Amino acid sequence: MAYVIALAVTAVSATALVASVCALMQGYVIRGAVEGVARQPEAGGRIMITMIIGLALIESLTIYVLILGFSLLKNLPETAQVLSTVKGG
């Protein structure tokens, strides 16, 4: 039972933590990009493409942790099984 709890809590909290840090850092990226466009509107297209690439690269780190979480969650038992174990115990 502790195994199930540990699996679930680890998978979800790791993803949540990494996603929140990723969101903070992506905020910096967007701030830099918007300030750049504010200073020089002609470079807007180029800056936007660079910003998109940077965002996708940062997001990929969150995706790695998400995939780890999915592979952890695959080992969770079915809900019916868990309920029957709890009832029997």
Partner 1 sequence: MGIRFTRTVLGFALLAGVYVREASADVAAAPRPGEPSPWLFFFFSLVAFALLAAIAFVGTRRLEILPRGLQNLVELAMENLYNIPEMVMGPRGREYASFIGTYFLCIVVMNLMGLIPGMKPGTASLSITLGFGTVAIVAVQYYGFRAHGIKYLLHFLGPVPAMAFLILPIELISELVRPISLSMRLYGNISGEEKVLEAFATQVGSWGPLVASAVMAPLELLTSVLQALVFSILVSVYIALATEEDESERNPSVEAMDR
d(CA 68, CA 18): 12
Q: Which is nearer to partner 1, 43 or 57 (CB)?
A: 57
Q: Among 4, 7, 66, 76, which residue interacts with partner 1 (rule: CB under 8 A)?
A: 66
Minimal distance in Å, beta carbon 89 to partner 1?
25
Specify whether the CB–CB gap between 62 and 19 falls below 8 A: yes
Q: What is the longest distance spanned by two Cα atoms in the chain?
A: 69
Q: Residue numbers of the site for partner 1 (CB under 8 A)?
A: 49, 52-53, 56-57, 59-60, 63-64, 66-67, 70
